[in-house]
């Protein structure tokens, strides 16, 4: 285990000093220990591998996972409409059509700068993805999910889908479906990524959700919602020193 911190912003008037926290995973180190310590895989710089960042991430303890009323509403919209294929990453065939769907999704949903082709290829070559889950409709690919899994956890890292389905809650359903399969596989935890801002509040529809507060996993969803809704007031522009020395995508 190798943790390191990088100086970020500060306010000397209030004695508030910020550091971004990272984790360099060592060869042979369990992925579970990294995630359980509050870190997620970093993919924002070229040539950086096996580095994880600490953030306000969320996970679901799967032993107590069940669908909430909102989860059931979303499930009814999509259950039975797709064929699901989970392919171990080394056996998945990466084609131009696959790349174009993934890049096109981010371009249309979040903007071209968020997931350029080079960043997508870097993620695919990270060595972290264990499975790519394909969702087919009438034999044609409609969505993909990148999963990081071991016998303890599944991380829903990225999802990509046909832009015609963008306003129909398909993204939430993909996350729910992955959680159900992770529970069926006897994983202990299902990791959902970060929870920042209003746009991430949909993740709080998961029952028994926990979030990382910088020191522990806590289940105070009321506090999590309050933090997310007030995130804009605490947002600053800039890079921590470590990132400023890397080549960003």
pLDDT tens sequence across 125-146: 999 999 999 999 999 999 999 9
Give the integer Cα–Cα distance in Å for 80 and 103: 27
Residue 3, strand partner residues: 23
Please give the pLDDT value at position 187.
98
57-230: what fold?
Aminopeptidase (3.40.630)
Smallest CA-to-CA distance from 98 within 127, 140, 148, 138 is with 140
- What are the sequence ranges of the domains in the chain? 57-230
pTM confidence score: 0.95
Please give the pLDDT value at position 164.
82
Spans of the chain below 70 pLDDT: none
Please give the pLDDT value at position 1.
73
Please give the pLDDT value at position 166.
74
Please give the pLDDT value at position 28.
87
C-beta of residue 98 within 8 angstroms of C-beta of residue 115: no
């Amino acid at each position: 285990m190798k943790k390191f911190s990088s100086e970020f912003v500060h306010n000397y008037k209030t004695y508030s000093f910020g550091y971004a926290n990272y984790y360099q995973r060592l060869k042979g180190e369990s992925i579970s220990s990294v995630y359980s310590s509050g870190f997620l895989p970093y993919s924002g710089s070229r040539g950086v591998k096996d580095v994880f960042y600490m953030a306000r991430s969320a996970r679901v303890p799967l032993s107590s996972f069940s669908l909430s009323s909102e989860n059931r509403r979303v499930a009814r919209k999509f259950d039975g409409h797709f064929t699901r294929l989970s392919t171990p990453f080394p056996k998945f065939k990466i084609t131009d059509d696959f790349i174009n769907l993934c890049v096109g999704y981010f371009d249309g949903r979040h903007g071209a700068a968020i997931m350029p082709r080079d960043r997508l290829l870097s993620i695919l070559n990270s060595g972290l993805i264990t499975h790519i889950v394909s969702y087919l409709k009438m034999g044609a690919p409609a969505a993909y999910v990148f999963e990081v899994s071991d016998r303890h956890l599944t991380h829903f890292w990225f999802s990509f889908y046909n832009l015609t389905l963008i306003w129909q809650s398909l993204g939430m359903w993909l996350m729910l479906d992955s959680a159900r399969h992770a529970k069926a596989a006897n994983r202990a935890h299902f990791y959902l990524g970060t929870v920042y801002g209003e746009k991430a509040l949909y993740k709080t529809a998961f029952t028994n959700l926990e979030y990382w507060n910088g020191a522990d996993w806590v289940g105070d969803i009321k506090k999590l919602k309050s933090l997310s809704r007030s995130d804009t007031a605490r947002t600053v522009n800039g890079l921590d020193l470590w990132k400023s020395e890397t080549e960003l995508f």
